[in-house]
Amino acid sequence: MNGIYGEDVGEVCQVCDTPIQKSIIGQRGTFFCPRCQR
């Protein structure tokens, strides 16, 4: 795992334990925490 956010859907955020989600923007996949990032 790199940094705070994982590289796989289903891993949990190290800050709030919320499952990480993936969004595709353009042709790139971005992993983010839906609770910490608004």
CA 30 centroid distance within chain: 7
* 29 belongs to a structural domain: yes
* 2 belongs to a structural domain: no
Q: What is the DSSP letter of 12?
A: B
Boundaries of domain holding 26: 12-37
* 7 belongs to a structural domain: no
**Confidence check: pLDDT of 9 > 70:** no
* 5 belongs to a structural domain: no
Kindly report the average pLDDT of the chain as a whole number.
78
* 18 belongs to a structural domain: yes
Number of domains the chain contains: 1
* 33 belongs to a structural domain: yes
Q: What is the mean pLDDT of residues 18-34?
A: 86
Element (H, E) at 29: strand 28-32
**Confidence check: pLDDT of 1 > 80:** no
